[in-house]
Amino acid sequence: MSIEVSKLSKQYGSQWAVDDVSFDIPTGQVVGFLGPNGAGKSTTMKMLTGYITPTSGSAKINNLWLGEDDLKIKRTIGYLPEQNPLYFDMYVKEYLGFVANLCGITKEVPKRVAQMIDRTGLEREQHKKIGTLSKGYKQRVGMAQALMNDPNVLILDEPTSGLDPNQITEIRKLITSIGEERTVLLSTHIMQEVEAMCSRVIIINQGKLVADDSIADLHKLHKKGKKVIVQFKNPADVSSLKNISGVQKVEALSNNRYEISAGVETDFQEKLFNYAVENQNIILEQKEIEDSLETVFRSLTN
Ligand code: ADP
């Protein structure tokens, strides 16, 4: 396991910012860490990276105990904090050389810096002052910094926040390629981001873990009902569609198409077919639509 978290908690005054959270992440998974603002994501990440001490509970990173081997842990992880602290007066290349020294890299520093510049697409910006870079490029400098020590666990706190759509796409590509070889835990509240990059989702709300599943299972487990779009050959009567047992809502769309919401009962399809036969109306097309991850997220965190 790359990350093992057991009953981790953090109390600020009377508030439990993180409350009894447990999860394990095996090597080589990209995991989305979701939750509304204030849910406890950053606090959890700060504990996992050794920046703040848990009130209770324990965690192991790369088989090393947090609180016992923090320096060794820091050597094996890369961390991009939400407020990425950079020295704005330093030049990109100069700064990354400085980071390499901090990481204890003594041999072939220019080569390592050049690799990181190449990996994060900073070639054209490497001679610029960090303060003059756009937010997207500052974020790349943060990624280059996080990757400098060749970590096998990366902890990224809202890596795409404040970026424009093009920058988001590029950072996502970078994270996806990094995730092919390493374990990545990334926090975000953008659902498309999770669907694009992550195989698994951990959701916390008010400090407590409320879900830990693959994206497919999350859809299955938290399914509230079925939503089907059906197209008939001839117009159908909305009130008679509503009378099919289990149907909760019917919305008429264009071209004899109807969006029908029903409970999770399994024989809904059969009932719809019988309805079509009884009303001598042919079903031309029928497709089930899944609740978006956003809907699942809202139902778990509202
Ligand atoms: P998230 O990253 O999910 O938005 P945070 O981990 O930043 O959430 O915060 C969780 C809760 O802990 C929030 O209510 C926040 O106000 C509180 N909190 C975070 N850091 C501190 C701190 N240093 N002192 C007091 N409260 C804090």
Domain parsing of the chain, residue ranges: 3-220, 224-301
C-alpha distances out from residue 250 to 34, 242, 293, Å: 32, 6, 22
180, burial (CB in 10 Å: exposed 0-12, middle 13-18, buried 19+): exposed
Nearest CA among 49, 42, 94 for reference residue 72 = 49
Instruction: Kindly give the residue spans of alpha helices, DSSP state H, lying in the chain.
Output: 41-48, 70-76, 92-102, 109-119, 135-147, 165-179, 191-197, 215-221, 238-242, 268-278, 293-301
Nearest CA among 253, 250, 270, 272 for reference residue 261 = 250
Q: Which helix (H) or strand (E) holds 32?
A: strand 30-34
Structure token pair of residue 28:
């080589």
> Taking a C-beta distance cutoff of 8 angstroms, is the pair 270, 255 a contact?
no
Residues 168-186: what's their mean pLDDT? 89
Summarised one tens digit per residue, pLDDT across range 20-39 is 999 999 988 999 999 999 99
Write down the pLDDT at residue 266. 64
Write down the pLDDT at residue 195. 86
Nearest CA among 118, 135, 122 for reference residue 91 = 122
Domains 3-220 and 224-301 share a fold: no
For ligand 1, say whether the CB of 41 is within 6 Å of any of its atoms.
yes
Q: Which residue out of 43, 53, 209, 297 has the highest number of ligand 1 atoms within 8 Å of its CB and is therefore the one to mutate?
A: 43
- The pTM of the full predicted model, rounded to 2 decimals, is 0.83
Rounded to whole angstroms, how far apart are CA atoms 21 and 298? 20
Structure token pair of residue 68:
């016992």
Beta bridge partners of residue 285, listed in sequence order: 231
Q: Give the Å distance between the CA of 38 and the centre of ligand 1.
A: 6
Protein residue with least CA distance to atom 18, ligand 1: 17
Rounded to whole angstroms, how far apart are CA atoms 6 and 4? 7
Write down the pLDDT at residue 170. 84
- Please give the distance of CA 118 from its chain centroid, rounded to a whole number: 25
Q: Give the Å distance between the CA of 164 and the centre of ligand 1.
A: 26
Write down the pLDDT at residue 81. 92
Q: Which residue out of 12, 15, 190 has the highest number of ligand 1 atoms within 8 Å of its CB and is therefore the one to mutate?
A: 12
Average pLDDT value for the chain? 91
Write down the pLDDT at residue 265. 67
Q: Which residue has the higher pLDDT, 114 or 167?
A: 114
CATH number of 224-301: 3.30.70.100
Chain position carrying tokens 């009953």: 7
Third-level CATH fold of 3-220: Rossmann fold (3.40.50)
First to last CA, the chain: 32
Q: Give the Å distance between the CA of 233 and the centre of ligand 1.
A: 56
Give residue 168's pLDDT band: very low, low, confident or very high (50, 70, 90): confident
The alpha-carbon radius of gyration of the chain (Å, integer) is 25
Please tell me what DSSP assigns to residue 254.
Answer: S
Is pLDDT of 162 > 80?
no
> Taking a C-beta distance cutoff of 8 angstroms, is the pair 197, 172 a contact?
yes
Nearest CA among 192, 252, 258, 263 for reference residue 230 = 258
Q: Which residue has the higher pLDDT, 300 or 251?
A: 251
From the CB of residue 129, how many other CB atoms can be counted at a distance below 10 Å? 15
- Please give the distance of CA 230 from its chain centroid, rounded to a whole number: 33
Nearest CA among 193, 183, 189, 226 for reference residue 204 = 189
Summarised one tens digit per residue, pLDDT across range 95-154 is 999 999 999 998 899 999 999 999 888 999 999 999 999 988 998 999 999 999 999 999
